[in-house]
Amino acid sequence: MTSTGIGSVFDSAATEYAEVSPLLWDRIGEATVTAAQIQPGERVLDVCCGAGASAIPAAQATGPQGQVDAIDLAAELLAQGRRRAALEGLDNARFIQADATTWEPHEGHLYDVVQCVHGVFLLPDMDASASRLAGLLRSGGRLVITTWAEGAIEDLGRLFTEAVERVRDVQIGPPPSKQAVSRIDTEQKLVAWLTARGLTQVTVTRAPLRIPLDPMLSWRIALGSGFRGMLTGLDEFTVERVRTTFQHLRSERKMDELDATSLVGTGISE
């Protein structure tokens, strides 16, 4: 999927994204900022920032003397982030529509922290993109990458994919991001991958998260995530058939809980 396509998917998911954020995205964002140990006065780049789940707590941590540049391709999510920052009185957070693969720091000022929560595996050429992001850090700065732990969110994605396949009578197969995620979904893999990006003193923090599911919440989470891309181009009648099929499968398989455990990897730039 192109960068424009990814932005469009998350723009269409904006409403549901906001609805599930307090239970899902915000909790992961807060865990990321805690692991990043952001200090007052630091300059932070938040890549694939969405509606600010990690950018908002980062702006709170760095305080009025610091700065958070939050970038994403999804205009609707960025608008949510700006509203959240305004409500929190955070003048130090800028939400900017920009491509992470071409972003340059303002006036060449490098960052103390570059963080990317559940977005690095969506970037074209994950290895090259992450290495480029590491290059935006000052010496001694931290690159912080949050990804799904092995097995996390897979059951939901598998059921959603099966529902779409049954309704459309097609074989979809796993998205390209699935292979990328599988390369960094354990502590050992993530340490090795960040080390290969030229980072030192790499540590990984596991952030357990399990969310009880009911029919409404499970559907909203599916629609408020990248899984929504599988519905692109479908009319309302077909989407409703997917929803009905998805809920039938969820009930049949007794999936009453979502494992949304994340891994937060942090490495130091030389």
The full DSSP string for 97-126 is E--TTT---GGG--EEEEEEES-GGGSSSH
Are 228 and 255 in contact by the 8 Å Cβ rule? The answer is no
pTM: 0.93
What one-character DSSP code corresponds to residue 149?
P
Fold of 3-152+175-213+259-268: Rossmann fold (3.40.50)
Q: Which residues contact 176 (CB under 8 A, 6 or more apart)?
A: 1
Give the span between the Cα atoms of 229 and 116, in whole angstroms. Answer: 21
Residue-level pLDDT, tens digit, the chain, 270 residues: 455 566 676 777 788 888 999 999 999 999 999 999 999 999 999 999 999 999 999 999 999 999 999 999 999 999 999 999 999 999 999 999 999 999 999 888 899 999 999 999 999 899 999 999 999 999 999 999 999 999 999 999 999 999 999 999 999 877 778 899 999 999 999 999 999 999 999 999 999 999 999 999 999 999 988 898 899 899 999 999 999 999 999 999 999 999 999 999 999 998
Cα 257 to chain centroid, rounded: 20
Domain boundaries along the sequence of the chain: 3-152+175-213+259-268
